[in-house]
């Protein structure tokens, strides 16, 4: 037999079935949204935190003072690691590495197989710093030999059948025509976890890279460096004291003015994934903005669901007042009644949690596809505790107002059938509805603005033509004979033009300071081949492009308008920039995403680079790709042509925004659904309270439409108030989001009009259904005494 409190709950659930199911839908939907967002946030926060030295693991960054303010760079020079190892006793391990991606994928050859894989160069301490468990080899020695290579388990298995069989075997790798080398497998690591901010397939000794680039002879402390420096402090070392020592290191190495304006600092390695954006030398966000955004969305949906529960609970209060009166007359205390109603709400929340878990399991595959993460609902103590705490907190929060509201009725009044009316109660219920619809309108505006910005990204002129451009990396003979291979590609039917560029056309570039007539400017560099300007449909505003007939072009450069404006060059063609002669000026183009302003850019000629761009005729793409594959196979038997379209690369820059847009639509729809249920509750409450009034009005000749208007007008005013409050709030919040784009859509009046009208239509439809039912009720039944 059920305990008495649970028996009462069961009877009330049976008595008010419609309220029970509406509450269950609202609460379980809100909890399911919160659980899904919790799984996503937990996954985001797990990135780079799996390393054993996580609490002591740091990356060295540099703040550089320029005329435009302080610029923060992750790149450092390779001299830094050795100096830190020698001069800073607080450091246990330190290593220099190349960032990922720094090179296009290498071509690896072993045992007659040809594979492309992502490389990383690193100092010997790399596997001591980072937790990539070695299946073969020793962490301290595996990268000491300049001719060593360390493969991932997956790559070793593909090339040699198993990690153990790979030890000591030769692997031939190729970056470009002049970058072919043979290395011996010295180790195999288990692979890079999915929640790593850098994904790579094999590691080479950084010493071999230094030798190839002759860096020991050319690098000076005043130089810029694109390399990453990581370190682990010894246990017990004070990070603040170490930071103070590190900040002044560059001043002891160089007396030049630019060195005095450069300051080193450390950032916890695991913080880089979420907190990677800096403005004027201060960390301002990064991916953490989306974590906070979705945490806010989860909180708002839970608030809406709780409000919905409160309103539906109080909407049925007029049918439970006699229960309150009888129990009080029989001696029940207010505390006992409060406990009863809080217990009822908590039981409802726990039941909703069970339903929410089922909903999460049902939609998790689709949610994982939307977020691009293989999320799973694992019954870990942290998740179970968070779910129970969330349900209990939501139950107590949602049930607190109804509990105190119902338990406060006076027994003498309620036994006479009178439901006390207090101004505070009315204002509370109406205020909750206003809050609900304020949040719902905010969601609607967010959906409209985010989609408008994504549409703007698609239609903004980029300064080049990305349509029908194929991108692939060459290897083997095609890379060694790059000029001949490109000449053959251009002859293929369906090919409009072809060229090559280092590392792909889109993405960030290595930035170094350059000088002209005493003026210094940070400049990005893009290595390109002949014909790139023509292949990409870029426009020259002055001078000419690179051409094979001009042999001096090997020491010439093209620049963009941003560089010309930044240095104040009145007539740039023919000028010399750090020893290189400018032969042409390219109209500014967006080689990075629209989050970034167009930076000063220099294009330098290098005919040996092997990331090929091919412009195809729109009507014959598939046939042309088949010809390209045949040509590549003729040059490289056994090799596979792995290609992507440049338009796909462009869209990949906005993956996060697209996911936000899709998720915002779903969450906005759920928030509106729950808000509509809340409005339905308030309209039911209003109709119940005014039942006899409606009966009298109908008896006196009032029409059904007139009664519908009577019941909907007051609630419509609440929605209008919500719209008035939501629109300026949504403008302020979304303006901050748009500020993350250097190029953004202009505000339009219809964004707000569409959100307001949408909220009004939803409110009218919701309230009108309940009002129409009340208006059609037989007045005899309404006037009959209970």
List, for residues 445-467, the tens digit of each pLDDT value. Answer: 888 888 888 788 778 888 889 88
Which tops the pLDDT comparison, 642 or 770?
A: 642
pLDDT of residue 1: 43
List Cα–Cα distances, 358 to 4, 41, 344, 461, in angstroms. 29, 20, 22, 47
Note the pLDDT of residue 716.
77
pTM for the model? 0.80
Q: What is the largest CA-CA distance in the chain?
A: 106
Mean pLDDT of 250-279: 78
503 versus 149: the higher-pLDDT residue is 149
The answer on pLDDT for 409 being more than 70 is no
DSSP codes joined into one string, 131-167: ---EEES-TTTTT-STTEEEEEHHHHHHHHSSHHHHT
Would you give the end-to-end CA distance of the chain in angstroms? Answer: 32
Q: If pLDDT is split at 50, 70 and 90, which confidence band does 9 have? A: low
In the prediction, which pLDDT does 5 show? 58
Tell me how far CA of residue 707 lies from CA of 68, 411, 704, in angstroms: 66, 32, 5
Q: Tens digit of pLDDT for each residue in 646-680? A: 888 888 777 777 777 787 778 777 777 777 776 77
pLDDT at 22: 75
The interaxial angle of helices 691-699 and 704-738, nearest 10 deg, is 130
Say whether 262 sits in a helix, a strand or coil.
strand
By CB atoms closer than 10 A (0-12, 13-18, 19+), residue 334 is: middle
Question: Residue 783: pLDDT above 60?
Answer: no
Q: What is the pLDDT of residues 325-338, one digit of tens each?
A: 677 676 667 777 77
Q: What is the pLDDT of residues 162-194, one digit of tens each?
A: 999 999 899 988 765 556 788 899 999 998 999
Share of the chain above pLDDT 70, in %: 83
Of residues 331 and 779, the one with the higher pLDDT is 331
Evaluate if residue 684 carries a pLDDT over 70: no
For the chain, the domains span 4-42+289-456+656-783, 54-273, 476-638
Long-range contact set of residues 514-521: C-beta below 8 Å, sequence gap at least 24 = 514/577, 514/578, 514/602, 515/577, 515/578, 516/567, 516/569, 516/575, 516/576, 516/577, 516/578, 517/567, 519/567, 519/568, 520/66, 520/258, 521/563, 521/566, 521/567, 521/600
Residue 25 confidence (pLDDT): 82
pLDDT band at 90 (very low <50, low <70, confident <90, very high): very high
Confidence (pLDDT) at 701: 66
- Taking the CA of residue 418 as centre, how many other CA atoms within 13 Å lie in the half-sphere pointing to its CB? 8
Picking from 96-100, 110-114, 201-205, 355-359, which range would have the lowest pLDDT averaged per residue?
110-114
Q: What is the pLDDT of residue 772?
A: 64
Residue 277, pLDDT > 90, answer no
Residue 257 has pLDDT above 60, yes or no: no
Nearest to 529 by CA among 645, 634, 612: 612
Could you give phi then psi for residue 211, rounded to 5 degrees?
-65, -45
pLDDT at 682 over 70: no
| 635 or 610, which is more confident | 635
Q: What is the pLDDT of residue 768?
A: 72
Q: How far apart are CA 522 and CA 514, in angstroms?
A: 6
Q: What is the pLDDT of residues 347-389, one digit of tens each?
A: 888 888 899 899 999 999 988 888 888 888 887 787 788 788 8
pLDDT digits (tens, 9 = 90+) for 743-754: 788 888 888 888
CA 514 to chain centre: 34
Q: How confident is the model at residue 615 (pLDDT cuts 50, 70, 90)?
A: very high
Task: Report which of residues 54 and 722 the model is more confident about.
Answer: 54
Q: What is the pLDDT of residues 458-498, one digit of tens each?
A: 788 888 898 899 998 887 788 888 888 999 999 999 999 99
Taking 50 as the threshold, does the pLDDT of residue 786 lie above it? no
CA distances (Å), origin 83, targets 80, 88, 91, 208: 5, 8, 11, 19
Among the ranges given (6-20, 62-76, 595-609), the one the predictor scored with the smallest mean pLDDT: 6-20
| pLDDT at site 454 | 78
Asked if residue 16 has pLDDT above 50, the reply is yes
Integer CA distances (angstroms), 230 to 98, 178, 269, 279, in order:
11, 30, 8, 22
Tell me the mean pLDDT in the region 320-327. 68
Q: Give the C-alpha distances (Å, rounded to integers) separating 591 from 158, 501, 521.
A: 35, 12, 18
- Least-confidence region, from 97-106, 213-222, 346-355: 213-222
pLDDT of residue 641: 84
Helix (H, G, I), strand (E, B) or coil at 247: helix
Predicted confidence (pLDDT) per residue in 548-585, tens digit = 888 888 889 999 999 999 888 888 998 888 888 999 99
Q: What is the pLDDT of residue 122?
A: 93
Mean pLDDT over 519-528 rounds to 86
DSSP code of residue 584 = E
Average model confidence (pLDDT) across the chain: 81
8-state DSSP, 197: S
**Kind and range of the H or E element at 501?**
strand 495-501
**pLDDT number for residue 779:** 60
pLDDT tens-digit map of 705-731: 666 676 677 777 888 888 888 888 888
User: Would you state the pLDDT for residue 705?
Assistant: 67
DSSP output for 76-96: B-THHHHHHHHH-TTEEEEEE
Give the tokens for residue 91: 């450091």
pLDDT of residue 688: 63
pLDDT for the residue numbered 782: 54
């Amino acid at each position: 037999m059920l305990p008495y409190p649970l028996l009462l709950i069961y009877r009330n659930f049976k008595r008010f079935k419609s309220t029970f199911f509406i509450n269950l839908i609202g609460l379980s939907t809100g909890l399911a949204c919160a659980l899904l967002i919790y799984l996503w946030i937990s996954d985001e926060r797990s990135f780079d935190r799996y390393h054993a030295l996580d609490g002591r693991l740091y990356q060295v960054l540099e703040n550089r003072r320029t005329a435009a303010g302080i610029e923060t760079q992750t790149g450092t020079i390779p001299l830094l690691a050795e100096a830190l190892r020698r001069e800073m006793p607080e450091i246990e391990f330190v290593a220099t590495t190349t960032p990922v991606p720094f090179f296009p994928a290498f071509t690896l050859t072993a045992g007659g197989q040809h594979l492309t894989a992502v490389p990383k160069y690193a100092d010997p301490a790399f596997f001591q710093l980072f937790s990539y468990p070695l299946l073969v080899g020793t962490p301290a020695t595996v990268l000491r030999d300049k001719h060593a290579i360390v493969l991932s388990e997956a790559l070793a298995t593909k090339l040699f059948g198993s990690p153990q069989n790979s030890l000591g075997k030769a692997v031939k790798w190729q970056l470009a025509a002049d970058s072919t080398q043979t290395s011996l497998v010295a180790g195999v690591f288990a692979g890079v976890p999915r929640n790593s901010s850098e994904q790579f397939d094999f590691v080479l000794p950084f010493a071999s890279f230094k030798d190839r680039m002759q860096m020991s002879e050319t690098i000076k402390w005043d130089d810029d460096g694109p390399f990453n420096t990581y370190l682990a402090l010894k246990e017990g070392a004070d990070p603040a004291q170490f930071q103070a020592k590190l900040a002044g290191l560059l001043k002891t190495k160089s007396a030049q003015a630019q060195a005095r304006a450069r300051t080193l600092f450390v950032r916890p390695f695991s913080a880089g994934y979420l907190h990677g954006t800096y403005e004027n030398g201060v960390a301002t966000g990064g991916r953490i903005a989306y974590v906070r955004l979705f945490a806010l969305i989860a909180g708002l949906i839970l608030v809406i669901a709780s409000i919905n529960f409160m309103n539906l609970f109080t909407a049925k209060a007029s049918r439970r007042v006699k229960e309150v009166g009888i129990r009080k007359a029989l001696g029940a205390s207010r505390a006992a009644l409060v406990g009863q109603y809080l217990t009822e709400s908590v039981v409802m929340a726990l039941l909703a949690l069970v339903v929410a878990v089922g909903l999460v399991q049902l939609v998790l595959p689709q949610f994982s596809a939307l977020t691009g993460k293989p999320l799973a609902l694992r019954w870990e103590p942290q998740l179970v505790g968070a779910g129970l705490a969330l349900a209990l907190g939501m139950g107590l929060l949602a049930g607190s107002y109804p509990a105190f509201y119902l338990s406060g009725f006076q027994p003498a009044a309620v036994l006479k059938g009178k439901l006390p009316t207090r101004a505070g109660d009315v204002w509370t219920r109406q205020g909750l509805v206003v809050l609900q619809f304020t949040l719902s309108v905010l969601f609607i505006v967010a959906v409209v603005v985010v989609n408008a910005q994504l549409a703007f990204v698609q239609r903004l002129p980029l300064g080049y033509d990305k349509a029908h451009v194929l991108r692939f990396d060459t290897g083997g003979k095609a890379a060694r004979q790059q000029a001949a291979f490109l000449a053959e590609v251009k002859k293929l039917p369906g090919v409009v033009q072809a060229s090559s560029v280092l590392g792909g056309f889109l993405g960030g570039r290595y930035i170094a300071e350059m000088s002209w007539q005493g003026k210094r400017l940070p400049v990005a560099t893009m290595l390109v081949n002949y014909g790139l300007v023509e292949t990409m449909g870029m426009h020259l505003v002055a001078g000419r492009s690179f051409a094979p007939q001009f042999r001096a072009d090997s020491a010439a450069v093209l620049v963009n308008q941003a560089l010309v404006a930044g240095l104040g060059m009145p007539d740039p063609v023919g000028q010399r920039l750090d020893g290189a002669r400018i032969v042409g000026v390219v109209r500014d183009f967006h080689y990075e995403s629209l989050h970034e302003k167009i930076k000063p850019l220099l294009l330098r000629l290098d005919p040996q680079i092997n990331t090929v761009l091919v412009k195809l005729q729109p009507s014959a793409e598939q046939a042309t790709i088949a010809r390209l594959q045949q040509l590549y196979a003729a040059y490289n038997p056994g090799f596979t042509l792995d290609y992507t379209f440049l338009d796909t690369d462009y869209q990949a820059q906005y993956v996060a925004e697209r996911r936000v847009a899709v998720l915002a639509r779903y969450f906005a729809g759920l928030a509106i659904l729950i808000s509509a249920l809340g409005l339905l509750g308030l309209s039911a409450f209003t109709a119940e309270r005014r039942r006899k009034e409606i009966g009298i009005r109908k008896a006196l000749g009032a029409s059904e439409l007139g009664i519908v208007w009577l019941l909907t007008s007051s609630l419509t005013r609440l929605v209008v108030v919500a719209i008035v409050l939501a629109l300026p709030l949504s403008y302020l919040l979304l303006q901050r989001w748009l500020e993350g784009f250097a190029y953004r859509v202009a505000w339009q009046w219809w964004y707000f009009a569409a959100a307001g009208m949408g909220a009004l239509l939803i409110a009218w439809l919701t309230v009108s259904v309940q009002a129409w039912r009340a208006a059609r009720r037989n007045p005899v039944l309404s006037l009959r005494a209970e």
